Amino acid sequence: MTVSVIVPAAGSGTRLGESVPKAFVDLGGRTILEICVAGIVEAAVADTVIVVVPADLIDDARRLVPDAVVVAGGAHRSESVRAGIEASGRNSDIVLVHDAARPLTPPAMFARVVDAVQAGHPAVVPGLPVADTLKQIDPDISGPAPERVVRTVDRELLRAIQTPQGFTRAALAQAHADDSGLATDDAGLAERCGIPVHVVPGDPLAFKITTPWDLRIARDIVAAEST
Ligand code: CTP
Ligand code: MG
């Protein structure tokens, strides 16, 4: 089976607040993008890696990850993924989508996701149990007053979803054929068109670098690994 991995890396990293887009931020001597692609290569599941970056950083990305196909992304994550799907062509049987912003994802997770798709599941996501107690609040939020709790959610039935998310080529194409822009991940689009989505075990190291706090933790982990 032929496997492609699409790496959406075209976001600006607004919540991170660094001077360069998030994928180009340094993490102990290498960019987030370089570390992410090196992890995918180490996993040895991909025939092709397609990296989607801001249009003005295509040349920089080609220098950083010379073995990847590099294309320009769009204004929203799902548009960037669709640019990756187009670049992946019709040759892949299985397509993984993996956020550049999760550079410390253990290589074994890629094989876990590919294996589950190969076993016959059209859409597979890694997920972790939720540790915190979760409460739903009243959506009618007005002013600075404390939010009102409506109920406590049963966390035993919830999973925090990560990437890489794996799909048959047909399932990913169908999921993205009608994107009204609401889903925050690719499996969400698949669910909306009735494609069954299955969860395999995730890993805490696959956390997404979103805020300065996450970047600090990622830098500490990289520094600890290199000593
Ligand atoms: N992404 C993308 N194209 C976009 C937006 C996001 O390829 N137009 C990618 C990001 O580069 C990231 C992944 O999707 O690897 C997850 O998105 P997120 O963590 O939200 O990153 P950003 O959008 O860059 O961050 P922010 O939302 O804080 O601006
Ligand atoms: Mg974003």
Read off the CATH number of the domain in which 115 is found: 3.90.550.10
Distance CA 57, CA 53 (A): 6
Is 144 a member of any domain?
no
Task: Please give the residue range of the domain that contains residue 221.
Answer: 3-127+159-225
pLDDT above 90: residue 145: no
pLDDT of 172 above 70: yes
Spacing, Cα 207 to ligand 2 middle (Å):
15
Whether 135 is in a domain gets the answer: no
Query: Is 176 among the domain residues?
Result: yes
Residue 143 resides in a domain: no
Q: Per the domain annotation, does 140 fall within a domain?
A: no
Q: Confirm whether 139 is domain-assigned.
A: no
Per-residue pLDDT band for 181 (boundaries 50, 70, 90) equals low
Please state the atom number of ligand 1 nearest to the C-alpha of residue 8: 7
Residue 144: other Cβ atoms inside 10 A? 5
CA 217 – CA 153 distance, rounded (Å): 28
Average pLDDT over residues 187-192: 95
pLDDT at 110 over 90: yes
Q: What letter represents residue 183's amino acid? A: A
Answer whether residue 137 is part of any domain.
no
Q: Is the pLDDT of residue 182 over 70?
A: no
Mean pLDDT value across the chain: 95
Q: At 140, is the pLDDT very low, low, confident or very high (cuts 50, 70, 90)?
A: confident
Phi then psi for residue 118, to 5 deg, are -60, -30
CA of 126 to the centre of ligand 2 (A): 19
Domain count, the chain: 1
Q: Whose CA is nearest to atom 1 of ligand 1?
A: 11
Strands (E), the chain: 3-8, 48-53, 69-72, 94-97, 123-129, 134-137, 149-153, 159-161, 165-168, 197-201
Does some domain include residue 132?
no
